[in-house]
Chains A and B, each alone.
Chain A
Amino acid sequence: MLRWILGGRETQGAVEKNTVLVIGDEQPKNVYTELQVLKGHFDIVRFLVQIDNFRFASGGDDGLVLVWNVETGERLQELRGHSQQITAMAAYSRPGRWAPHTDLLTASSDRTLSMWDPDTGNRVQTVSDLQSSVKCLLVLGQLSLWISGGNEMCVWNRNFDLLCRTDHHSDAGIAAMVELPKNCIAAAVDKEIVIYRLSSVANEADMVVTEVRRLTDHRDSIRALITINDQLFASGSHIGELIVWHSLDWTPQVFECILWDHPHVSPQEEIKLGGQKQSEMSIHHMASVGEFIAAAVGSGLYIYNILTRSVVAYRKTAHDSNIRQILLLPDGTFAKTTYGQNIASGTVKLGSFSHSFLQLMSCSEDGSVRIWELQDLPLPAEPASAGFFGMWSFGRTSKQASQPVKKVQEAPALCTLELIGDLIGHSGAIQMFINFTDRGLVSCSTDHLIIIWKNGERESRLRSSSLFHKLDQNGGL
């Protein structure tokens, strides 16, 4: 623990002055030892969508949608058609004859919606002249419908028939949508969460969407909306409010306001921080696995346990700048754990097991992906101080640094998020990443690049076996 802090500070040097936490080059737990840089986009790459086990699509501000093979890094298809930047992408699977067939839905600022066949690269369907550009897409697999959210919400079927739509919302439009049980949909519209219900009218073909409820508990615009499980969904706002809702009766279950700053910080200090406060508080992204919710709060990470309704671990400054996306890996690709089994058998109880199985990945505007591991605090004082020491930026006095230590000591269940690896490669903000588990991790960035991070050992093994396969085919050298 101490080692990496020291090592980190040593290497911080002149370049990354603001780096709070730097792991050294020694990363034994980091398996990503091979990378492939995929070039093809001419502008910021914003979206990545997994199509199937080995393919993914990327979309960017250049209006291009590219389909890639994650194993070889080959570019399989180039889907051209959008004249402006891509604003939303989704994969739309339907059962095929032998295997489910996946199409790709894309929305662009040119106010068109398209469906593509990633096998052939054909544009299967397209709708243009929408009233507003679509900001989010939600596929309802069971109903074989999909919903586009912009300034209004539209419900479509597979054949691109518009089934129904809502009224015009505000200019802010729908930022995010999640599917709720009983044909309900939660849509984040600025500060509110609007619950819609889809119901079919007499004949099956037509659908009606009705607004059921507006949840107005957030005091600022909602940035993140996720489903936790059948009963719960969560939302996070710009000022760090995290609310967990019940999926059926839409009542708030948990209200947590994440304030990095200690309550009794001096007024002077608060003013000093005032400028940065909002973005530091903003919940950009959330992820959940099991009973854990992870939230990207500014450039920090925050893990909450909904069973115990308590914070499990947090790092105020996990990255140098805002975190764009986080990913929880319950049975991680990094370490073999039995967590998945524990969850399945329901034996998981807080405090009764080690947290070391839980891994988390985060990508940030600073261009790096970091891999964290939830670890118990071996000793209450020392690592905590180290951790919190790291959390403070350099301008702060040591007086403040000592204060959070108390808090940690007060919360016995608190764990630390230990940095076990970071992936450095992009030279711009990482917009998104998707995890192909064994096959690797794909990240896309403002530097127009996509990088596939792979497990070098596994790849080497695969290459060996294909080598011997080819050798067999050729009948020797």
Chain B
Amino acid sequence: MISSPDLVAFTKENDFGDANVDNSLLPEEFNVPPFPYSENENPWSKTSYAKFTKDFILISEFSEQVGPQPLLTIPDGPKVCGTFDLNYFSLRIMSVDYQASFMGHPPGCNYPKLNFVEDSKVVLGDSKEGAFAYVHHLTLYDLEARGFVRPFCVAYISADERKIMQQFLELSAEFSKASECLKTGNRKAFANEIEKKLKDLEYTRAILHKETELQKESNGCFSTQAIEKANELANVEKSIYEHKDLLRQITSYPNRKMKDPDFLPYDSENIVESPDLGQDPVNDSKPQGQSDSPDIKRSPSYTPQLIKAKSAKCFDKRLKTLEELCDLYFYHQTMDQLKQIEKTFRGDLCHIYTNQIGQALLKNQKVTNFLFEDYSSWEEEETDKDTYNEKDNLLNNLPPPAIIQAGEPVSLESYTSCVETLHIKMDPGDKVKEFQEEDSTETCAYDIAQGLSDECIDAMMKGSLSSGESIEVLGTEKSFKVQGPQLNEPVTHLSPHYPVIGRKRVVTKRANSEDSIEVLSTTDSIIPEDLRASYPIYEEDCSDTGEDCTSNMHEPIFSINSDTVAHNECVYGTADLVQMDVTCCMGQEGLNYKVPSPELGQECSANGVVKQEPQSCPQGDLALQVDFTFDDASISDGPASATTPYELNPNCLSDGTSRMTLDDCSDSTSFMSTSTCSDRTHPPFLYGSPITVKQKRKAGQCALRFIRQYPFAQQAIHCLLSGRPLVVLGSDERTVRKLVSALSIYVPNLGKYGESVKAWLSSPFQLTDLQIWKLIGIHKVASPAGFSILHSLKRYGRYISILDADQKTLRCPPYRGTLVERLADHRTQIKHGSTYFLHAQSSLTRLCAKAFLYTFCHHLHLSVNPSEEQEVVAARRTQFLRHFSCDPEDGKVLQFLSELIKCHYLRGPGKGVSPPIFGFNYVTSVVYKI
């Protein structure tokens, strides 16, 4: 209902404060960024030149043997990418090492050290191909690989750049989850591998030791053979030591994030104890079957080769596949997650966007949303609150003890390691590094920022020109850690300079964009956990300064380059976001953007890199990132707009966003015949699985047919709305189920799993059933069972309404009100089921709003002063109800909804310990016929 496109309109961004002044304007929450005007007015024509039709997910690897190569796409199949050249695109997105992983022997350490590298998140664009991608780089460990690492990337590829930019936050969150899952599985497999290798080595050592002794005895201590053997032995010893160290490193990886029940907790014990799923493929895949099987191990001539094989990299060696690199369980879970992501982000940006807004709003209607809303869209908030810490951990989990041990110094180090590689590539000079260490004052920072930005652009231009390749990194932004108590000052100082930077960026882009991949932005997902605590301060600051800046900032950009607009407009879902957005960008420019978190105390090492390529449009992703933390913190107490995009329900979206099916369209012609009963009948709800919007839309189709077929549809709907259980009686199961599913959209408080509906019942029902089921389909048979059903129908006749599907009659209290009229007009012009569903939903929302008002109007229920009689209050109540609609029957609907709201509010969403309340009226029923 709220997500209905009709409600979406354009508003200005900066009139949030005085929204009350002009009533004609929609509230800020409904705001959708206007489509940027260009010469081509058709918003859909823009994406037409892409070589693929649908968005998809691509997994690529930078193979040490063949270079970048695509591994798989989700969804799978040749149709997915069309003529789009995956190889080419893989090459492009994998050609820059954003992760900057440093592996191997660090100085001062003579054995390999594993680096736990954070994933990098980059938005890349290929303007020629018309493809834009969110690219998530990650590194997996492989004992046989160079430096033990195998770089991979997971990319979400879309033809719509704005979609990527605007959904960056969600994409980043979802991909982080998937990546985390994959990496966990990989760590497990890796540890397994090392353990096996260790066993081999131990065995080798034993053999060698024996041989050495033999040699010593036969040839003397200083014979060449003996010395050789001793050297070999020493090598093996060293190797064992190294491997043990590797094992220690990999197993000491913090598992605290794995509290999520979905994940198998990974720890060293598990590896030893459970030779599970993941191990087998690893074993099988060992190229030469080296050393794994005990049989081979027994042959002493083989063992020395083991070490040699390890140290010698041969190119004909078969590298492990992704599946083999990862514990199977985690691998499949990752794939499922990726599929889910694909589903979630399917469809037009506008659609996704409206859905997000709708859901964000729904979450704020805590009091009434249980009545008619789809559960999945708001309900998880409660669960989110519980699991939120875990989620955060999952997202921010990466800092392992090896990298972040105690705050500042270590993190700085870990950061610079990332920076260094970028330096190498981009040649920004040492200034950045210097700058990092500088705790500059704001003016200083400002100067430097200005200088740097120019410099960086130069540097980058050089870099990109000299590379000879057409790849252009427009901007990266590494692990931006929000900083600084002086939030306000830098913002105000810097705002005038922003356009300048923007212009420069444009220049660079123009120069190289002929055939280029543009790195539009990257971020790292490190968000200090402590930051969340500091969120309130942060928000305040932003809202103070954000607004004036907005106006300053955006117009120049608009005028300069329409392309950038898209980026700038990224996350303007809500007023707060807009503000956040802008301030963050400024903060970034200003280098002095201090983390207001008291405990954190971490130097923001990010700024150096930020300054490297500030000229892209980083505000979008910055905003995203900041917003990301913002979201984390504000989930429970944030204002309406604060909770916008994050907690998308995959379920809901996947079903909700799927476009209108052919079913829905084709149905619309067949209602007029009363006997329509197409074979497409779906069981309305699979009991036990949550009801989805899709099912409800299908139900909308049935409902549309129902109200056209049955002149007493209004009466039936009134029964449901006023809480009187409706029994659909029929001998044909399909007909009954169809009717039930049609009517189910009118059942208030349907329940997540449709608990209030019993689609098909062949046994007599009890009074207790009526407390729960408000819509029951009953099998009419002429048998003893049928008789007892009939008996229960008669016995509880006063509590229920009976719709006889065979005779087409309805026995229910008379209804002549106007409330349902609009909802069920049998002359309705609506043709499509989903349209009708939206119509019904919006009508029901109106009803909810009325019920809410009715429930929470104090003086309608309680006396204003103690002396006031109960009758006076009752009279006021009646008056109020009459004001809404003339008919007392309509009043009953409101009263029933109001009771539901009260109970819900008092008891909470759970059923509580007390049994449900069943209310009814003593009203004579009449029989309606067709």
Contacts and interface: CB of A to CB of B under 8 A. Distances in A.
B915 A467 contact: no
A464 interface: yes
B924 A26 contact: yes
A447 B862 CA distance: 39
A75 B917 CA distance: 15
B302 interface: no
Contacts, number: 105
A33 B919 CA distance: 6
A427 B792 CA distance: 9
Interface in A1-42: 7, 11, 13, 15-16, 24-28, 30, 33-39
Given A74-B913, A427-B795, A463-B902, A25 B924 contact: yes
A460 interface: yes
A75 to B, nearest CB: 7
B855 A467 contact: yes
Nearest to B794: A15
B922 A33 contact: yes
A88 interface: no
A16 B794 contact: yes
A358 interface: no
Given A24-B924, A34-B918, A427-B767, A467 B794 contact: no
Contacts of A73: 914-915, 917
B286 to A, nearest CB: 61
Contacts of A471: 856
A363 to B, nearest CB: 16
Interface string A415-447: 000000100111100000000000000000001
Contacts of B771: 37
Interface string B880-909: 000000000000000100110011011000
Nearest to A459: B917
A15 B905 contact: no
A271 interface: no
A35 B922 contact: no
Interface in A438-477: 447, 449, 451, 456, 459-461, 463-468, 470-471, 477
Given A463-B903, A467-B905, A477-B367, A39 B915 contact: yes
Contacts of A426: 767
Contact of A33 (B870, B898, B914, B920): B920
Contacts of A27: 922
A467 B923 contact: no
Given A15-B794, A424-B796, A25 B862 contact: no
B790 interface: yes
Nearest to B870: A461
A36 B918 CA distance: 6
Given A13-B794, A427-B795, A465 B861 contact: yes
A72 interface: yes
Nearest to B925: A25
A459 B916 CA distance: 13
B914 A36 contact: yes
A426 to B, nearest CB: 8
The residue in B767, B794, B922 that gathers the most chain A C-beta atoms within 10 A of its C-beta is B922
Given A33-B922, A467-B906, A15 B791 contact: yes
Nearest to A427: B766
A313 to B, nearest CB: 24
Nearest to A463: B902
The residue in A39, A447, A456, A471 that gathers the most chain B C-beta atoms within 10 A of its C-beta is A456
B858 interface: yes
A37 B899 contact: no
A426 B796 CA distance: 10
B4 to A, nearest CB: 24
A427 B768 CA distance: 11
B921 interface: yes
Contacts of A69: 914
B794 A34 contact: no
Nearest to A452: B915
Contacts of B366: 477
B117 to A, nearest CB: 46
Contacts of A470: 905-906
Nearest to B921: A33
Q: Which of under 10, 10 to 19, 20 to 34, or 35 or more describes the interface residues of A?
A: 35 or more
A261 to B, nearest CB: 31
A473 B263 CA distance: 40
Interface string B791-824: 1101111100000000000000000000000000
Interface in A160-193: none
A334 B920 CA distance: 17
A75 B915 CA distance: 9
Contact of B767 (A7, A37, A75, A477): A37
A124 to B, nearest CB: 25
A459 B903 CA distance: 11
A465 B862 CA distance: 7
A423 B795 CA distance: 11
Given A15-B794, A427-B767, A451-B767, A74 B914 contact: yes
Given A74-B914, A424-B796, A461 B919 contact: no
Contacts of B798: 25, 424
Interface string B592-614: 00000000000000000000000
A344 to B, nearest CB: 25
B922 A26 contact: yes
A177 to B, nearest CB: 35
A28 B918 contact: no
A456 B919 contact: yes
Contacts of B767: 35, 37, 425-427, 449, 451
Interface in B763-787: 766-768, 771
A37 B919 contact: no
A33 B922 CA distance: 8
The residue in A38, A72, A463 that gathers the most chain B C-beta atoms within 10 A of its C-beta is A463
A27 B914 CA distance: 28
B922 A28 contact: yes
Contacts of A451: 767
A7 B797 CA distance: 14
Contact of B915 (A38, A421, A463): A38
Given A15-B791, A427-B795, A460-B895, A449 B768 contact: yes
Contacts of B792: 427
A15 B795 contact: yes
A26 B925 CA distance: 9
A460 B902 CA distance: 9
Contact of A461 (B367, B797, B861, B921): B861
A456 B905 CA distance: 18
Nearest to B855: A467
B823 to A, nearest CB: 25
Contacts of A37: 767-768, 771, 915, 918
B902 A464 contact: yes
B802 to A, nearest CB: 13
Nearest to A13: B794
A36 B917 contact: yes
A467 B791 CA distance: 39
Given A15-B795, A30-B922, A449-B767, 20 more contacts: A11-B797, A13-B794, A16-B794, A26-B924, A27-B922, A33-B920, A34-B917, A35-B767, A36-B917, A39-B915, A69-B914, A72-B913, A427-B792, A459-B917, A460-B902, A461-B870, A463-B902, A464-B861, A466-B906, A477-B367
Interface of A: 7, 11, 13, 15-16, 24-28, 30, 33-39, 69, 72-75, 421, 424-427, 447, 449, 451, 456, 459-461, 463-468, 470-471, 477
27 contacts: A13-B794, A15-B790, A16-B794, A24-B924, A25-B925, A26-B922, A27-B922, A30-B922, A33-B921, A34-B919, A35-B918, A35-B920, A37-B767, A73-B915, A421-B922, A426-B767, A451-B767, A460-B899, A461-B870, A463-B899, A463-B902, A463-B903, A463-B906, A466-B906, A468-B861, A471-B856, A477-B366
Those 9 A-B pairs whose CB atoms lie nearest each other, nearest first: A464-B861, A27-B922, A15-B794, A72-B914, A463-B902, A73-B914, A25-B798, A34-B919, A26-B924
